[in-house]
Chain A
Amino acid sequence: MFKLKYDDFLVYDEATGTYSMSPEQQVRDQTEKNRWKNVGWTVLKDWRLYIMLVPMLLVYILWKYAPMYELMGCFKDPTTGDTEHVATYSWVGLRYFEEIFTGLESNLFWRAFRNTFITAFYGLLFGFPMPIILALFFNEVRSNITRSVIQVCVYLPKFLSTVIVTSLALILFRGTGGGVQSIGVVSKVFQLFGASKADLENGLVFTTRYYRTIYVITDLWEHAGYDSIVFFAAVIAVSPTSYEAAQIDGAGKMAQMRYVVIPSILSTVVIMLIMKIGGLLSVGYEKIYLLYGQGAGQNIQNNYAACDVVSTLANRWSDDADTKACGIAAEMMNNLIGMILVLGANSIAKRASDVSLY
């Protein structure tokens, strides 16, 4: 006869031939009930706290979670049922996923998917080291006033809107045409480095070859200065005695960098890097949408080859009922992969350093 941990919870009544709850179990049951009673009581006692939670939850449910209900549209045919209600469409299974992976729209989708990765990768490759370099250099500026002036200048672009950033970029890199005889001022710098005449006149932003360069430059312009704040805080936290000790040991400037500064900011760098990788797929579609040119002209259509990302593609697909479901499917794929990256990065960060963002 084996004995379970709680095998005393029933007692067998031989007279009636039935089982009933044992006294021990009755006590256990009672405490369980008390716990639930207490839960009700704690909620009631602090009801104001729960009321405070309501507006925030309502906002999130109505405008963040309710759109997720519409996601089922990617398994449904939008030409059937009541156009207003996604629930009334008929199910078509994975038809639209097939369409974007292997079917009609696959060329556009894979191009956009690749571009999402490439854009994000370039953003990381150039956008990540730059703030660290800036922070290290800020540390060299001994005069507080000079440093503040430089910092004011480099933080400023972060506060400009995407519309302003992109219109500045579009004007500075513009081509000729429409009564304009001269190419943009910064395009002239590219001319010195041998950009072809046709590309320059077309407008460098609208050429497949230079689009990514310009994207990276504007990205650095916008974010590098501001992103350096967190690294600069890590750099100035290095105690002056460490430098002095290194100097006494005969370390030159490079050696001080190598053995004093870099090791002490390394944990910040690693965390920020992991987090950047986590956010890899959430490229700013607003900026790309504003940068990549409007219209149906050949020069702009060609440019989509370099700059179209999944979100902008979905946005273009959203107008047509036929491609709308494909757009939902494509973006859902993109966001799911993005979520896996974020969670993976976060768990690595947690394991690496016992800190995490969430």
Chain B
Amino acid sequence: MKRKIEKSELIFKIVAYFFLIVFAAMCIYPLLYALSAAFSSGSAVDTGKVVIVPIDVTGAAFMSVVQDNMFWVNYANTLFVTFFGTVWALGYSILGAYALSKKRLLGRHGWNFVLVFTMWFSAGIIPQYQNYMQTADIFANLGIVDLKWTIIIAMGMNATNIILLRNSFEGVPSEIEEAARIDGATEMQILTKVYIPMSKATIATVALFFGISRWNGYFWAFKVVDYDHRFSWPVQVYIRDYINKYTSIAGEADPTTVDDRMYWYDTHSYAAVSAVYSMVICAIIPILAIYPFIQKYFAKGVNMGGVKE
């Protein structure tokens, strides 16, 4: 009897380990391939010799990216948008969530509904696009010509994050608030001295959610910031533009750039995709750098995000 249990358990364990290791390898493989292709010679990449280790190691593609000024301008834009976008979104989210968490707030359910409704229904791409373009116009009239500010202020709303914050604030015992009030704390002091320190984990999680979505944002930045304003592009838009121009992976070339593709090797010793991969590596380095520290917050955030009421 005992042996039988051990046998079935062993088989299950072997299957589990095998499956997990294969899946983990699959998850990591494209990144490993990116790394080796970035440092391989053009012919090795284009003839498909590179599978997992770099062939004919060369840093030419990576150096070309390092020297690409436009890439770094856009990279700096992304850092800028990520930082200020997160601060802005976190700011109004914390204030709003704090107010929403108070039972004494009149029309609490109504205000809540204003938030939650946006999770159910959105106007769609075309109206949203018109709205963003009008916003950009209004900002320009106000003297804010840089489209980065449109991206920072008008985009990246997330009602789920506000609800996460609200739930966390609701979990703070009201006795502490009352004690602070008796000691003469103002509303703002209660928020900054009591609520924010007590919900540090949630705020960190929400800040990371906002930050990651800012770092990775593409579509609306691409739609709103056109080629003439490419000095305001985030880096994701630059990478995609580079792909469309110089590689054939995303479909056919624009008539104006088809020559760049045709005669690529006349002026370059590396493959265009190697440059793309070098950019990809540069773009994920910040995420990889903070990833070990943020992982536990994300696990926590997901479990909090679940069920309430």
Contact = CB atoms under 8 A, between A and B. Distances in A.
Nearest to B95: A52
A91 B41 CA distance: 61
Given A70-B126, A252-B9, A343-B120, A178 B248 contact: yes
A290 to B, nearest CB: 7
Interface string A316-358: 0110000010011001101110110011000000000001111
A176 B131 CA distance: 41
Given A64-B118, A160-B284, A140 B157 contact: no
B76 interface: no
A68 B123 CA distance: 5
Given A137-B17, A160-B284, A343-B120, 5 more contacts: A67-B127, A159-B216, A164-B236, A315-B125, A335-B122
A46 B101 CA distance: 14
B73 interface: no
A50 B51 CA distance: 59
A289 interface: yes
A155 B115 CA distance: 29
Nearest to A341: B120
Given A48-B187, A167-B240, A155 B284 contact: no
Given A48-B188, A57-B114, A62 B216 contact: no
A161 interface: yes
The 3 closest A-B pairs by CB, nearest first: A182-B48, A56-B96, A161-B216
A156 to B, nearest CB: 6
A154 B118 contact: no
Interface of A: 39, 42-43, 46, 48-50, 52-53, 55-57, 59-71, 73, 133-134, 136-138, 140-141, 149-157, 159-164, 167-172, 174, 177-185, 188, 203, 206, 221, 224-226, 229-230, 233, 247, 250-254, 271, 285-286, 289-290, 293-297, 300, 311, 314-315, 317-318, 324, 327-328, 331-332, 334-336, 338-339, 342-343, 355-358
A67 B131 contact: yes
A271 B95 contact: no
Interface stretch (B22-30, B57-65, B199-207): B22-30
A335 B17 CA distance: 42
B104 A42 contact: yes
A163 B249 contact: no
B247 interface: yes
A59 B102 CA distance: 21
Interface of B: 1, 4-5, 8-9, 11-13, 15-17, 19-21, 23-28, 30-31, 33-34, 37, 46-51, 91-93, 95-96, 98-100, 102, 104-106, 111, 114-116, 118-132, 135, 153-155, 157, 162, 186-188, 191, 212, 215-219, 236-237, 239-240, 243-244, 247-254, 261-262, 264-265, 271, 273, 276-277, 280, 283-284, 287, 291-292, 295, 298-299, 302-303, 306-309
Contact of B123 (A70, A153, A226): A70
Contacts of A62: 135, 154
A56 B95 contact: yes
A175 B58 CA distance: 24
Contacts of A141: 16-17, 20
Given A155-B298, A168-B280, A247-B5, A286 B218 contact: yes
A164 B287 CA distance: 13
A356 to B, nearest CB: 7
B211 to A, nearest CB: 10
Given A68-B123, A161-B283, A318-B126, A170 B249 contact: yes
Contact of A355 (B262, B265, B307): B307
Given A59-B92, A155-B298, A342 B287 contact: no
Nearest to B244: A294
B111 A137 contact: no
A95 B127 CA distance: 19
B264 A179 contact: yes
A49 B187 contact: yes
Contact of A335 (B50, B121, B298): B121
A73 B217 CA distance: 28
Given A180-B248, A339-B120, A53 B111 contact: yes
A56 B112 CA distance: 11
Contacts of B105: 46, 49-50, 53
Contact of A185 (B31, B48, B91): B48
A63 B123 contact: no
A137 B19 contact: yes
Contacts of B248: 174, 177-178, 180
Given A55-B91, A206-B251, A335 B124 contact: yes
A262 to B, nearest CB: 14
A138 B92 contact: no
Given A57-B114, A318-B129, A140 B12 contact: yes
Contacts of A357: 307-308
B273 A171 contact: yes
A63 B135 contact: yes
B127 A157 contact: no
B127 A233 contact: no
Contacts of A164: 216, 236, 239, 280, 283-284
A52 B96 contact: yes
A336 B123 CA distance: 10
B157 A156 contact: no
A65 B127 CA distance: 10
Contacts of B9: 252-253
A324 B130 CA distance: 11
Contacts of B157: 59-60, 63-64
B303 A233 contact: yes
A148 to B, nearest CB: 9
Contacts of A183: 48
A219 to B, nearest CB: 13
B13 A250 contact: no
A220 B57 CA distance: 32
B261 A154 contact: no
